[in-house]
Each structure stands twice: as structure tokens, then as C-alpha cells.
Amino acid sequence: MTIHRTTLPLVADLNTAPPAPAVARPLRVALVNMPWALSDRPSIQCGLLKAGLEAAGHTVDVHYLNLALAVGIGSDMYLQIAEMPAERTLMLGEWLFTVAAFGPVGGEDSYRAAFPAVDEACAKLGLTFEKLCELRGTWLPEWLDKVIGDIDWKQYDLVGFTSTFEQNVAALAGAARVKRLAPTVPTVFGGANLDGEMGLEFVRRFTDIDYVVTGEGDVALLHLAAALSGGGSGLGLPGLAARTPDGTVRARPPAQVREMDALPVPDFTDYFLQLDRLGRRAALGGRPVHLVVELSRGCWWGEKHHCTFCGLNALGMNYRSKSPRRAIDEIVAMASASRNLVIDTVDNILDMRYLGTFCDELAGHGYDLSMFFEVKANLSPEQLRRLRAAGVTRIQPGIESLSTRVLRIMDKGTDLLTNVRLLKWARYHRIAVGWNILTGFPGETDADYLNQAEIMPALHHLAPPLAFGELWMERFSPYFSKPPAQFHDIRPRQAYAFIYPLPDLDLAKIAYFFDHTSESQVSPEAVATLAAAVEVWRDRWPPDRPGPSLSYQRGPGWIRIMDSRGAHRSEQYLDGWQATVFQMCGDSPRTVAGLRRRMAEAQDVPHVPAVGELSEFLDSCVAWRGMIQEGGRYLSLALPTASRGQH
Ligand code: SF4
């Protein structure tokens, strides 16, 4: 199959986009958040667009049909399906809406045969496969008829569907019903699933979609609403794709927001109103609401070194972020208005400026915030301390591997010791870390896998990886746009053919995830060894018990190291300069020469050991797994028991 690279022109600067024309008359706009958007949080896209459109004079209702479905099938089952990672081949959420979208397409048995994991999914959901098929074949189409039929769509001048992750098919099914009930009301689709040429193919093939936003929606939707309010159309507007009367697709490059502070504060009113109307317990079970905040777009690391597997930021890697002042005000205002303290940022990477006044001021407020950030793994212990003091309790650093060689292949900008240092000090500061181990990179060898497996027992006191698996290929990633010689036969993920059983849809154009064949040099045995080592580590951290520990107490002239990583608890003392050296290797990896220099400069170190003596001691620490070493740099693994420096 030929994979088409994007044909959409590159992004236009917002400053070069024409200003939105004046609004001739205010419109009534509906925005729809379909399943399988997470039900425990409002939609940042809908909240932002509502605020922007209302500031321009329009009236906007956001319909959270994902909440309605959570109540309909049960909050637990809903979230289990919504949280199944889309890249993990099945795309179950999308498949479940295929009959609602395209009619009785059948194909259940062939889907099951292609994806035996569907039986595992059924077991987790407490359903038989037959019941799952009933959900797909009759229950969901009837449910959608009802919830769409309950809304008067004719009152609107424009209906928008947002689509990220597994929302495409439900949105198509919803749009078809809206068009049946209100054929003259224009529909617009937008969201990450429609970026670039994916959006062009959707608007070409699906006549229930009138317009597609092919990039950031903030400017495009304002232009569209203004044009419609004056009796015009969206044809030829920046960031919009549409069919011309002769059936071809016309698209203009999307405009980007440059000044993040100029964005409105998202309006989540509809989410909370509908949550209260439907009942929080029915919609969410016991889960708390996660407020969603967007403080930046793009990625400052990716601007310089695009990680080879990363397909994020399709058309806008250039980094833009809100000022620390605006970020603080927005977080405090949201927490105040909604009485929620659990806040998730949707940013790809933390703005390092926030380690200053942003952290200090939030720490000074003393609120019990629980914030989530994606961060780069090279945060220092002090930076982690500041984040925790500000209320950051959860992070996702791009760790991806414990092999420096593989991390270099990824162009990840981190290494083994940096990754371990982050895991260590995050645990010390009580910050939960979500991370994965990825495999399948071109140029890997058995040694890369076996070395990782070998060091893992030394790390059992640190948060284990959430998942272990082969990299998946994403549209817009360097591996997709310029595949390495070892990757062949790049094709849309197999599940797309089951999700879109439509002969006239070009799957290569609408797919975001791709399968590929790889000429791997790694043996199955090496993969199995690493997989087994990850499983052992994960087993040491059952959900209901604290994991193993490796910590030390500091006394006058000595430290006591307590270790529960192995089968038996053990304890040992280090005295004098050995205790000093062990602690000096705690914050950052140190070399023999660097340690000797620091010891010579320190006032309270009476004896600087010779090179041989020091090397021998460091290597002995590596042997009993008190340290790890790479390239002559040593990092000690034990955490201080004292909470010096913690808030
Ligand atoms: S993986 Fe993360 S750090 Fe790397 S380019 Fe993508 S967003 Fe940036």
C-alpha cells in the first residue's frame, strides 16, 4: 500500500491570517463531546472554543454525550473502555460505534479472530463476547438515536464535534443523526484526529461533515462562525477544509495561536451542570473530577530534537506557553470556581520557567492541589522539590528506556542515570511517576535489552514502568515521515479496516497509527528476558501495599542503609569518607575525579582517598546494588529517610 504523506500546506502564522470578520448576527452554536472522551474531566477543546465564541458574541451549548453514556452503561465500564490505550491495536471504543455509524456492517467474528485480546477485554468488562456484540449492534445505536433525538438541533446555526483518541466513529454516528434531524444546519469536525490530511479525507468521504478544522481550532472556528453569521460559507477560510460544489476538497493552512496569554480561560460550565443533572455518582462512580488546564502548546525539546517515534504536535511543534502569572491565575480561578483541586495539564512538556515564581507562589498559597504535568526526565532533585511543594503530585517524564544507547536512538535527550535519578527523587518527594519501556527501535541489540534487565532488581524500590511494549508508528513522527531502512511495509493499523468497513475511504489517509515490519536484530529470548524483569518489578508494587525501600539514616560520621529490595531485609553501615562519598553521589552522578575534587574542597572531610581506593569502594557499592554506574559516573540509589528540604 502507498502511504501518502501530508499534502496540506504547512501552518500559517496567526499574524499572517486575515483577522476574523465582524459578526453580523450572533449564532447559536452546539459543541458535542462524544464517547469515548474521559468522563471524569471536562473537554479542554470545547471549553476553550466556547469561551472564544462567546467572547465574540455567540451563544454556545456544550453537549457532554460521553457523560450520558457513562450513566447509561455504568461509570466503571465506560472508563475501562475509554482508558484502553488506543495504540494497543484493538481500538475497541471505535469498533463499538461502527454499527451506529455505518449500519449493520457485521464482521464480529473476523474482528475477534484478528484480535484474540478482545476476549481479555470482555473478561475485564464482565461481558461475554455476545453481549459486547449486542452493545455494538443494537444497544449503542438505539442509545444514540435517543440522546441525539432529545436535543433540538434546529435551534443551532452550527454544530461542532471534537475528536481526539477514540471519538471519531461516535462523532460520525452522531453527525449522521444530527443531519437527519436538522439537514440544513452545518456541521464542523475538529481535534487531533482531524489534523492535516486526515481531516481532508474525512470531509471528502463523509457528507455529514461540512467543514473540518485541520489544525488549531481557536482561530478557524471564529472565522467560520463570523462567515456563517454574514450568510457566507467556510470555503477558503484559514484552517478549514470543505467540499466545493463539484465535490473536491479545498483547504487553507491552519493559523496558530502565538500568544497563549491571549487565549480565553476555558468555560466548563456545561460539564458541571450536566454532571449535576445526571448525578456525579452515576456518571463517575467515586472518581474525582480532573480539571483540565492547557498552559502550553508544542514542545521545546521537539523543536530541536524531534523524538523519533513522536507524532504529537502534528502541525505545530514550535513551543508557546502562558506566562507564569497567567498560569497561576488560571489554576487558582478554576480551583476556586469549581471547588476541585485535582488538575491535569494537557501540555506535552513543562515550561522550565514554571520552576520559578509559578512553583513558589503556588507553594506559598498552601492549597492541597494535586497537579499533573508531563516533564522532561532531566529534572534535578531541587526542581522536583519545588514542583511537589507547588502541588504537583503526578508526572509523566519521557523515560521510555533504561538503555542510554536506545535513548540516543530515540533522540530523547536523556540517559540511564538521568532517568534513574528522576525516579529516585520523585519517590523521595512523593510524586507518582507514569512511565513506560518501549522496544523495537532500529539498531537495538540483545545487549541493550539484557543490560536493562540486569539493572532492574537494583531499582525495585522505585516506581516500576506502567507498560512494556513495542513502539507504535504514529503519523507525523520522524519514523513515519522518513522511515529508517530497517522499517518496511508501513500500513494503517489492522483495526482500521474493521472500524471503517468502507471501500471508498482511504485508510492510509485517515489513520494516525500504523503497523510496520521491522528487521530487528534482537532475539526473542532477549525480549522475553526484559519483559520478565519488568513483570517481576511490577509484582513488587501491588496496588494495596507500599513497594520495597532502600533508604539511609545519617548519624555523626556514619550512615545506616536499610534495604528491603531483596527477599530479606538487610542493614549496613558506612563510616567516614565512605559515608560522605555515598551521599555525594545522591543528587547527581559523580566521577572519581569529581568526587576527589569535591572532597578536597569540603571543610569537613579529613581524608581524600586515593583513586584506586575510591574506585574500589564505588565498585563495591555497585556490586551490592547501592549504586549504579555508567561511563565512569556513579549514582547512589538509597533515599534519605529524613525529609530535609521537603515541605
Ligand atoms: S516525545 Fe515528548 S519530548 Fe519528545 S518530541 Fe514528542 S512531545 Fe517532545
pLDDT in tens, 69-78: 999 999 999 9
Pocket test for ligand 1, best of 346, 348, 373, 374 (most atoms within 8 A of CB): 348
Identify the residues whose C-beta falls under 6 Å from ligand 1.
299, 301-302, 306-307, 310, 312, 348-349, 398
Architecture of the domain delimited by 550-640: Orthogonal Bundle (1.10)
Gap from CA of 477 to ligand 1 centroid (Å): 10
Gap from CA of 550 to ligand 1 centroid (Å): 31
Gap from CA of 365 to ligand 1 centroid (Å): 31
8 Å CB contact between 549 and 564: yes
For 123-178, the DSSP string reads HHHT--HHHHHHIIIIIHHHHHHHHHHTS-GGG-SEEEEE--STTHHHHHHHHHHH
8 Å CB contact between 327 and 361: no
For 522-575, the DSSP string reads S-HHHHHHHHHHHHHHHHTS-TTS----EEEEEETTEEEEEE-SSSS-EEEEEE
* Nearest atom within ligand 1 for CA of residue 313: 7
Gap from CA of 313 to ligand 1 centroid (Å): 9
Pocket test for ligand 1, best of 297, 304, 310 (most atoms within 8 A of CB): 310
Gap from CA of 89 to ligand 1 centroid (Å): 22
Instruction: Determine which residue's CA is closest to atom 7 belonging to ligand 1.
Output: 348
Coil/strand/helix, residue 54: helix
Architecture of the domain delimited by 14-84+141-261: 3-Layer(aba) Sandwich (3.40)
Gap from CA of 279 to ligand 1 centroid (Å): 38
| pLDDT value, residue 29 | 98
Instruction: Determine which residue's CA is closest to atom 8 belonging to ligand 1.
Output: 302
Pocket test for ligand 1, best of 313, 349, 378 (most atoms within 8 A of CB): 349
Taking the domains of the chain in order of start, what are their residue ranges? 14-84+141-261, 290-539, 550-640
Instruction: Determine which residue's CA is closest to atom 5 belonging to ligand 1.
Output: 302
CA dist 251 → 12, 164, 239, 561 (Å):
12, 20, 7, 64
Strand ranges (DSSP E) for 248-304? 249-251, 255-256, 291-293, 296-297
Gap from CA of 311 to ligand 1 centroid (Å): 8
| pLDDT value, residue 9 | 38
Gap from CA of 309 to ligand 1 centroid (Å): 9
* Nearest atom within ligand 1 for CA of residue 376: 3
Domain spanning 290-539: which CATH class is it, in words?
alpha beta
* Nearest atom within ligand 1 for CA of residue 411: 4
| pLDDT value, residue 643 | 59
Gap from CA of 374 to ligand 1 centroid (Å): 10
Report d(CA 349, CA 357) in Å as an integer: 18
Instruction: Determine which residue's CA is closest to atom 6 belonging to ligand 1.
Output: 310
Nearest partner of 24 among 207, 169, 228, judged by Cα: 228
| pLDDT value, residue 325 | 97
Report d(CA 374, CA 433) in Å as an integer: 10
Gap from CA of 513 to ligand 1 centroid (Å): 17
Q: Provide φ and ψ at 434, rounded to 5°.
A: -100, 120
Instruction: Determine which residue's CA is closest to atom 4 belonging to ligand 1.
Output: 307
Report d(CA 11, CA 216) in Å as an integer: 10
| pLDDT value, residue 546 | 86
Residues of the chain below pLDDT 50:
1-18, 645-647
Gap from CA of 466 to ligand 1 centroid (Å): 18
Report d(CA 2, CA 84) in Å as an integer: 29
CA dist 404 → 110, 124, 407, 420, 451 (Å):
42, 36, 5, 11, 10
Q: Provide φ and ψ at 78, rounded to 5°.
A: -60, -50
Q: Where are the alpha helices (DSSP H) in 392-523?
A: 404-410, 416-428, 446-455, 478-481, 495-499, 507-510
Pocket test for ligand 1, best of 307, 379, 408 (most atoms within 8 A of CB): 307
Cβ-Cβ contacts under 8 Å for 623 (sequence gap 6 or more):
none
Gap from CA of 569 to ligand 1 centroid (Å): 40
Gap from CA of 69 to ligand 1 centroid (Å): 33
Report d(CA 605, CA 590) in Å as an integer: 17
8 Å CB contact between 228 and 156: no
Pocket test for ligand 1, best of 87, 297, 299 (most atoms within 8 A of CB): 299
| pLDDT value, residue 416 | 98
Report d(CA 276, CA 293) in Å as an integer: 21
* Nearest atom within ligand 1 for CA of residue 305: 5
| pLDDT value, residue 10 | 37
Burial 329-365 (b: 16+ CB within 10 A, else e): ebbeebbeebebebbbbbbbbbbeebbeebbebbbee
Instruction: Determine which residue's CA is closest to atom 2 belonging to ligand 1.
Output: 348
* Nearest atom within ligand 1 for CA of residue 302: 5
Gap from CA of 332 to ligand 1 centroid (Å): 28
Nearest partner of 394 among 438, 346, 430, judged by Cα: 430
* Nearest atom within ligand 1 for CA of residue 309: 1
Q: Provide φ and ψ at 12, rounded to 5°.
A: -90, 145
